[in-house]
Chain A
Amino acid sequence: MLAFVLRRAVQAVLVMIVVALIAFTLFRFVGDPINQMVGIETSAQEREALRQQLGLNDSVVVQFAHFIWGAAHFDFGASYQFKQPVVDLIAERFPATMELSLVSALLSLLLGIPMGVYTALHRTSWLSRFFLTVSLVGISLPTFLIGILLIFVFAVTLGWLPSFGRGDVVDLGFWTTGLLTKSGLRAIILPAVTLGLFQMALIMRLVRSEMIEVLRTDYIKFARARGLPDRIVYFGHALKNTLVPVMTIAGLQFGSIIAFAIITETVFQWPGMGLLFLKAVQNADIPIMSAYLLLVAAIYVAINLVVDLLYVVVDPRIRIDARAA
């Protein structure tokens, strides 16, 4: 088991090194950092001095080491467009994105799993058909279109919910949250639904197909033969066994929720990292791009590692396999 965990950890570190290499290559070789920092009236000597001072004349290996060292201390340089340290810009917007992502991930799990169980148990009922149709739409429609549709219905036509921004936020010092104020809670509904719909559809379909598969197995037949009530058979035996793949997908999907937040944040003008990243892409602001890349990779790798560890806890077969390997 220790070997399994170690192997996964080594893989995670390798992925991070490769991503760091890509981020460094972007940072260093796409566009000239000096040109982006100084104006046209800067003389060649001053440029050369700045180049020397920033260590841009060192060998590539030394520069990469500097980059990693900086990244480890959350130093990603200054943004070309805002002339501020990238880490401040990201830290300011990090809570907004995380709150939105967590709420929509939670929403997709809380709705997706029961809907999946229901559609698996009542395969022909009209409600199941309705859920399946909604999920097909959720998977097929682009996120931004869903967002626009929701804004159109709930903000423009009905006027129930705000269509942009985060509402009032409470500053907790290290974190700003919109979940404690009424306007903040109202503001998060539409973006969270927009962002969570795709994941919800995905989780519902996954739970449904896994449940149908599990319900055919011998141990379910045996549980029924023992005369256990339906409730225990379905939730105690069947659902429990579908949760391993659900856990994997939900974990993997959290990374894409953060990435898809770029779209949702644009539609709803949500003041998060995604909006910042998009502005960076539009203006070729490489320091922000490479820092965001590293951050998303780090979050993703960390989640994967946690999911792998949870596997070991949840599924005894993996413990045995790992011991055999």
Chain B
Amino acid sequence: MDMPPVETTEDTDQSQRLATFLDSDVVYSFRQSKVTVLAAIVMLAIVLGAVLAPWVAPHDPYDLKSLNLLDAHTPPAWASDGDVRFLLGTDDQGRDVFSTILYGSRLSLAVGMLSVALAAALGIALGLIAGYVGGSLDALIMRAADVQLTFPAILIALLIDGTARALFGQYRDESTTIWVLVLSIGLSFWVQYARTVRGLTFVERNKDYVLAARLIGIRPGLILMRHILPNVVGPVLVIITINLALAIILEATLSFLGVGLSPTEPSLGTMIRIGNNYLFSGERWIAIFPGITLAALVLSVNLIGDWLRDALNPKLR
């Protein structure tokens, strides 16, 4: 597939490449779609807020010393009994909701990206091997994929999480919780990559350039990584964006269900779980603001994914 360069640098040395990039169809179609531009701005804002959280957040929600229970359940600043120190109010422990959202998005994005990376790496590797080697290894990998497809991702993630809980006991600290989450989500998403990559590899491996590479004695691993991988990576990019939205949703869901990140270091899902308990007492802000952030993040990632799929697929134009 003839693809315009997707990545570029801001470096002026490469202004020639930058100009080519800005002139490309992908950038043109990006500018033409107002919704996509808006989605990109929203996503950029949330990502920036998340990355820069330690510097821009007015409070540190992890610093237990700074929390004061007397501040708990403060409504947002514009409400009559609000407090200007807490723009979006505080939760049940006196944490500033705005700061916690920034730190929470950080966790949500980190878990989402890490698990997508794990799923992509595993799926691409298995797909390449299955497609290139073929035979019984291919059959084994693909049957495993079929069985896994029998179950929705949420169920697989819950099972892995429950198993990890039984294996490690209840005494897990915060850092292992994150890795268990990444493992649960990553392992529940690899199938789609494997299937796509396997199908494409199947086609590529019979092409002349692969034959040529084999004839001059390049090792199979190198052929896969250097020659076949770049040719199958296009559709994978689209799956990655769509999967990122799904992974963020899955993390939020697991945390909401109480098997994800702990209340002491809340992600967006954990915050909504906490806020849900106070919905009936009229303290809406604890659940609603993290909810809006989560919805905006997922919606913008989805919109960008939709656009990317259309932009990278010339057949749909």
Contact = CB atoms under 8 A, between A and B. Distances in A.
B236 interface: no
Interface string B157-176: 01101110111001000000
Given A284-B166, A300-B150, A145 B279 contact: no
A149 B258 CA distance: 19
Interface residues of B, number: 39
A148 B289 CA distance: 13
A281 B160 CA distance: 9
A296 B295 contact: no
A300 B162 CA distance: 21
A139 interface: yes
Contacts of A156: 279-280
Interface extent on A, as a size class?
35 or more
B116 interface: no
Interface SS majority for chain B: helix
Contact of A256 (B152, B165, B280, B302): B152
Nearest to A304: B150
B272 A145 contact: yes
Nearest to A23: B159
Contacts of B166: 30-31, 284, 286
Interface stretch (A122-130, A168-176, A257-265): A257-265
Contact of A144 (B146, B152, B272): B272
A215 interface: no
Given A263-B154, A301-B150, A148 B291 contact: yes
A301 B272 CA distance: 35
A141 B291 CA distance: 9
A252 to B, nearest CB: 9
A148 B272 contact: yes
A286 B161 CA distance: 12
B298 interface: yes
B146 A15 contact: yes
A304 to B, nearest CB: 8
Contact of B279 (A152, A262, A281, A286): A152
B279 A151 contact: yes
Contact of B299 (A140, A143, A286): A140
Given A140-B298, A144-B253, A278 B158 contact: yes
Contacts of A284: 162, 165-166, 170
A196 interface: no
Interface string A22-35: 00001000110000
A29 B133 CA distance: 33
Nearest to B276: A148
A281 B165 contact: yes
B295 A145 contact: yes
13 contacts: A18-B143, A18-B147, A31-B167, A144-B269, A145-B294, A148-B287, A259-B151, A263-B253, A266-B256, A278-B158, A281-B158, A289-B163, A300-B151
Q: Which 8 A-B pairs have the closest CB atoms?
A: A281-B162, A284-B166, A256-B152, A259-B152, A259-B155, A31-B166, A140-B299, A142-B249
